[in-house]
Each structure stands twice: as C-alpha cells, then as structure tokens.
Structure 1
Amino acid sequence: MEKGVVLLQKSWIVLRTFLITAAAGFLFDQLGIFLPWLLGPMGSLLLLRQYTKLEFEWPRIYRQVGLIFLGIQIGSSFTKTSIELMWFDFPLMVLMTFSIVGVALLLSYLFMKMSGESIATSVLGSLPGGLSQMVLLSEEVKSANSTIVTLMQTFRIFVVVTVVPFLTAWIPKGSHLNEGTIAVLPTFNVMHFVLAVLLGTFFFVAMKKIHFPLPELMAPILSMAIVQFVTDHPVVEVPAIVLILSQIFVGAHLGLQLEKVRDQLSIRLFSAIVLTNLALIAFSGLIAYILTNIHPVNTFLDFFISAAPGGIAEMSITALETGADLSTVTSFHLFRIFFILLIAGPVMTYVLKKWLKA
C-alpha cells in the first residue's frame, strides 16, 4: 500500500514537472523568445527550484527519448549530396577544431588565474568535449577536481545555450549554395526504416560499451545518415509536435542538472566561467567570419553555430530554429567531439598525469 502511495506521489511530481515546463515553453513561444521549448523548461525549473519549495523530478528515460527523436531529425538532414560535400569541408573542420581547442586551452590558463583552481581542473573543464567524457578523464588525474569540472562543463552549456541563440537572432540567414535534395518517396519504405532501426540499435549498444557520450543522439544520426546516403531516399520525417516534446524533455533535464550545481558556484568561479566562455564565443564569431570569407558556400550563421562551444544537441536545436544548414553544423560538431575524445582529451590527460606526477 505504501509503495503504491509513493509511486503515485512520484508520478504526480513528474507530471507536474512536465506541465510546468510545457506551460513555460508555450509562454516563451507566445512572447517570441528564441528557442522557447528548450529555454522555457530550463529557465522555469531553475527559477522555481531557487525561489519555491516545490519538488521536481525528471526521469532520465525522458531525456533519452528526446535525444533519440532529435537524433532522427538531425540524421534526416544528411543527404547523399551533403555527405559527399563533407569531404570538401574537411580542411575547414580541422582548422576550426584546432582553433577552438587551442583558444580553449589558452583560456584555461586565464580561468586558472581567476578561479584559483588547478591547471588540470582548468584544462579538462575548459575543453568543449562533452560533459560525461571530460568528467571521466578528470577522475584519472588526481590533481583535477571532478566536481568543478562537472560544474564548468555544465555551466558552459548554459552560457552557450542562452547567449548563442540570442546572437543568432540578429545574424542574417543568407542562402546556401550547397543544398542537396533527396528523391522523395511516394510511400513510406518499411525496409529502409527497419534497416535504420537495426543499424541505430547496433551503434547504440556499441557506443554504450565504449562509454561514448550521448549514444541516444549519436546512434540515430549515424544510422539515418548511412541509410540515406546508400539509398538516396528519406527514411522518416519527425512530426513538429514530437520535436517540441523532445526539446521540452531535454530542456527539463538541463534545468534540473544546472540546479544541482548551483550551490557549488561561488562569485569568483561564476565570473571565471562566464568570462572565459564569452571570450570563446567571441572567438567562435571571429573564426566563423574567417571561414565564411574562405568558403562562401556556407553562411556565417552555419559556421558560427558550428564553432560555438555548446553541446551537439543544443547547437543542433539552435540550427533547426534558425534555418542554418543542419548537416554542416552537425558534421563540424561531430568532428570536434571525435577529435577531443579520441585525441586531445586523452593526450592532455596523459601530459597532465606525467607533468604533475598525478
């Protein structure tokens, strides 16, 4: 009997969380605020947790479902033509990634001086390589504070998600010269859909085993891109209401995640995180301007969102809302994630452990 009451109470808290976040998203949408269905839930939970005694709960499965559908939508943007054009963008990916990572490492020194944290904590917290992976790497270095690394990575997403969308609202959209099309199928192709599901399941299981970040998002992106590249046909289109719900699910998770680290944030640490991230965002604008002049096939907006040091899910949502080239933004972020996770992160961890004898 008691278990039933507890389960009922928990269900009500989850339902209340959803109703509040959905209402906040709707309000933001009516007010014309950018990214309403992501920022509304995130902002409402932050404020209500801070100024009220209401309890909120958001099961992890909801965030995972949201990421899966976002991954499907992102993957559907990869046409055969856009994937082929990625080879021409490869030198630009290298230039952008090396530039962003290099400046992030320089800013980690500024962060260390401002915050008083160790060099290991500052470096691993400053690298835009994904929350979970950077935290795991920080646990291998004794002089690194995993809690501060978590806070830095989490709060950077918050800064980027709030600042970058605001800036993109003032950036001219321009036009794309490389837009490719996929032949439209007269009917839904079950075989292609089943193939994408099987391939996505395989990628998901493989990514979970190697602890790759965001497998719920990455697996459908890769499976959709591969199937559409091979068949040159669209697999499935995600309805608008599902995309809205997906953004609510992710936004609610971000709001509660940020609340957990809020109490650990001192004014000194807050100032260091905000200043270094604003500097990195400003540099993202600079490198985007340079790449636009080198490669005018893509717009400044495409390159700016591609360079922004936010999470791939949040930046992809921003690209969706602004009309930026989704396949370009996703491919640049994917390249940076792979570079940091497979090369820069492990190398920096090794160097820090040897240098600091940690």
Structure 2
Amino acid sequence: MSIFFRTALIAALAGWLFETLGIFLPWLLGPMFTLLLVSQFTNIKLYWPKSLRTAGLVLLGVQIGSSFTRDAVLLMWFDLPYMAFMTLSVVILSILLGLLFKKMVNESLATSLLGSIPGGLAQMVVIAEDVKSANITVVTMMQTIRIFMVVTIVPFLTVFLTGREQGELAEQLFTFAPVASLGGLMIGLVLYFGMKRIGFPAAELLAPILTLAIVQTVTGDILIDMPYWLIAIAQICIGASLGLQMEQIGDKLTFRLGAAIVLNNVLLISFTVFIAYVLTNWLPDYIFLDFFLSAAPGGIAEMAITALATGGDVALITSFQLFRLFFILLVASPIVTYIVKRLDAKRGT
C-alpha cells in the first residue's frame, strides 16, 4: 500500500469513526486529530498532497459561495460598521497580546506581533520572511497552534450555543442556469489566476466564494447544491492537511514558549466571546453564535465548516471573516511591518 493511500484510508476511517460516535465536525476533526497522533507517536509514514488540500478548499469555497444570495450580499452593506468595529477590536488586542508575548519569552518585536495577528498561517509566514528580525520558526508555531486551538475550542464551545434549526434557515432552491454557470466558471478562472499572479493568499477558497457571490447577486439564481458526501470529502482533504501540518511542532516547542502561545490564544478567544456578546446586545435581531464565529480568530474555511454544522449564517460569518482577512493583509500587516523595519533600522539590526 502506498504512503498516500494509507494516509487517505486512516483519514477516511477517522472521519467515519467520529461520525459514528456523534463527535462534532467529524470529517474535519477526525482526520486532523488522528493523523496528528499517528505522526507524533508512531513510525508510520504519512503523506498528503497539497493538490488535495487545494481541491478541498475549492469545494468548500463553492459551498460557502452558494450561501451568498442577493439579499445576503445587500445586507453586508448594513453590516460594514460592525465588521469594522469587530476587526479593529480583534487586531488591536492581537497587537497588545503580541507585546505581552514579547515580555514573556523575550522574542523580537517582529516575531511577537506577526505571530499574534490572526492573518492566516501561510500569509503571516510570508510577511515574516521579509523582516530580518522575525523568527520564522516561532511565527509558524504561533500561527499553527492558534489555528489548532481555534479549530478545537471554538467548535466545542458552539455545542453549548443555540443556532438555527433547519426550518429557520432561509430556503435556497437550486436552479440550473447554464449561461450563468458558464459565466461563473469564466469569472472564477479569471479571479483565481489573477489572485495567483499578484500572490494574494487563499485564492483557492476566495475565488469561488467571490465568483458565486457576484453571479448569484446579479442573476438572483442559486447555482450550486452540493451533496453532503462531497462536503465531507472536502473536509477530509482539509483536516488531513491540518493534522500533518502540525507534525513537526512538538520537536521545536519549549514549555515556556508553548505556555506563552496558549495564554495568548486563550485570551484572544475569550475576547472574541466578549465582542460577540457586545454586538449581540447592540443588535438583538442577530444571534450570539453568528457573531462568535465571525470574531473567532480561525481560518475562513474552518469557521464556515463550523457554521454549516451549527446552523450559523454562513454568508454573514464569511463576510466578517473576509473583511478581517483583507484588513489584516492590506492594512494592518503592512503598517506593522513598516514600523518594525524602521525600529530595526534604528537599532542597526
């Protein structure tokens, strides 16, 4: 049996076992936890191709994008002030936690800030590579452990929150529209290759989301109706990749560094609970679950999967997560990087 087929079999069986046991998010968490444990505590060789992670993200992007109806997109304009408030609050606290982290482990300012800002693992590592005083290994560990903690803690917390029952969700009827579908395919390809050309992150996920949001808003049609088994396969692809991505962390992590990272993330997740509570009180027509998943410092893919499983408003949650991602990558990270580089230049680093 090849290494890949062995890994795929373990991932699929883990997802099935978690599903059978009634564990939350079985097809994502099952492969993630199982492959992480197998890689850490056995000598079994595992391999998961990047192409399958990409395929999983594309499928999930299509599923998320299908939730962007015309009404949902128009409602986003009303939510912009709340998106800005939530994003600024989370980013400011992340910077303050970065300063606390610096004092706790005596790392450089660049490492502490770029590791603390929730802008995505790959993106923040790429940004850190451009700053000489940044410790790439520590930034990678901080971002990876944060994703692991969010994917573990946030879904568990949502079990105790009230979502929407199936009857409360707005019914979306799939309509076969060949012209709109063909137009969507062309727009999606242009967006994807355009994002790849300029090096914009998460193109595999964002291109289908933006494409379906555009086409469905213009036409008023719902173009996609993905079956459960296909969404499960997408989650296996992403979960397996996440599990193996964390494989080498245990070899590089010290107790002091690990404790500081865990404290950093517990405080950040706790703060998102507070922000969600504030916004729910300001806007009683919304539910706490939506704002909690919108504020949670995880990836768009992981929070969308959680929203799908808990009855959250996928379009709303994705909108807030997208706003934060764009703000961090286009505004916050460049400003932080510029300031750190100036300080390094003054110190002669």
- The percent identity for this pair of structures is 53
What SS does structure 2 have at the residue aligned with 1:356? helix
What SS does structure 1 have at the residue aligned with 2:252? coil
Range 67-76 or range 136-145, more displaced: 136-145
Q: Using the alignment, how far apart are the partners of 1:179 and 1:31 within structure 2?
A: 26
How far off is 1:297 after superposition?
A: 2.4
2:20 matches 1:22? no
Q: Using the alignment, how far apart are the partners of 2:217 and 2:171 within structure 1?
A: 11
Gapped regions of structure 1 (runs ≥ 5) = 1-8
Alignment root-mean-square deviation, CA: 1.5
What SS does structure 2 have at the residue aligned with 1:259? coil
How far off is 1:180 after superposition?
A: 5.5
Query: Which amino acid counterpart does residue 211 of structure 2 have in structure 1?
Result: S
What SS does structure 2 have at the residue aligned with 1:143? coil
2:51 matches 1:58? no
How far off is 1:296 after superposition?
A: 1.9
Q: Does the 8 A contact of 2:173 with 2:222 survive in 1?
A: yes
Q: Using the alignment, how far apart are the partners of 1:23 and 1:343 within structure 2?
A: 42
1:91-110 to 2 correspondences below 5 Å? 91-110=81-100
Q: Using the alignment, how far apart are the partners of 2:47 and 2:31 within structure 1?
A: 13
Q: Using the alignment, how far apart are the partners of 1:202 and 1:34 within structure 2?
A: 36
What SS does structure 1 have at the residue aligned with 2:58? helix
Q: Using the alignment, how far apart are the partners of 1:64 and 1:122 within structure 2?
A: 29
Q: Using the alignment, how far apart are the partners of 1:349 and 1:184 within structure 2?
A: 45
Q: Does the 8 A contact of 2:172 with 2:222 survive in 1?
A: yes
How far off is 1:182 after superposition?
A: 5.3
Q: Using the alignment, how far apart are the partners of 1:46 and 1:184 within structure 2?
A: 38
Aligned to 1:143: 133
Q: Using the alignment, how far apart are the partners of 2:79 and 2:250 within structure 1?
A: 39
Query: Which amino acid counterpart does residue 153 of structure 1 have in structure 2?
Result: Q
Q: Using the alignment, how far apart are the partners of 2:146 and 2:21 within structure 1?
A: 26
How far off is 1:115 after superposition?
A: 2.1
Query: Which amino acid counterpart does residue 46 of structure 2 have in structure 1?
Result: F
Deviations along 1:4-54, one digit per CA (max 9) or x if unpaired, are xxxxx6xx1111101101111111111111111111101001111111110
Deviations along 1:45-71, one digit per CA (max 9) or x if unpaired, are 111111111000001000000000000
Aligned to 2:122: 132
Deviations along 1:236-289, one digit per CA (max 9) or x if unpaired, are 111111100000000000000000333111111111111110110000000000
Query: Which amino acid counterpart does residue 83 of structure 2 have in structure 1?
Result: M
Distance 1:313 1:36, change over 3 A: same
Aligned to 2:232: 244
Aligned to 1:332: 320
Q: Does the 8 A contact of 1:80 with 1:182 survive in 2?
A: no
Query: Which amino acid counterpart does residue 259 of structure 2 have in structure 1?
Result: S
Aligned to 1:36: 26
Q: Does the 8 A contact of 1:175 with 1:299 survive in 2?
A: no
Deviations along 1:65-84, one digit per CA (max 9) or x if unpaired, are 00000000000000000100
TM-score (normalised: structure 2):
0.96
TM-score (normalised: structure 1):
0.93
Query: Which amino acid counterpart does residue 34 of structure 1 have in structure 2?
Result: F
Aligned to 1:6: none
Range 262-271 or range 225-234, more displaced: 262-271
Q: Using the alignment, how far apart are the partners of 2:199 and 2:115 within structure 1?
A: 19
Q: Using the alignment, how far apart are the partners of 1:175 and 1:83 within structure 2?
A: 22
Q: Does the 8 A contact of 1:204 with 1:216 survive in 2?
A: yes
Aligned to 1:343: 331
Aligned to 2:71: 81
1:1-358 to 2 correspondences below 5 Å? 12-173=2-163, 185=175, 188-357=176-345, 358=349
Q: Using the alignment, how far apart are the partners of 1:57 and 1:108 within structure 2?
A: 34
Gapped regions of structure 2 (runs ≥ 5) = none
Q: Using the alignment, how far apart are the partners of 2:285 and 2:187 within structure 1?
A: 32
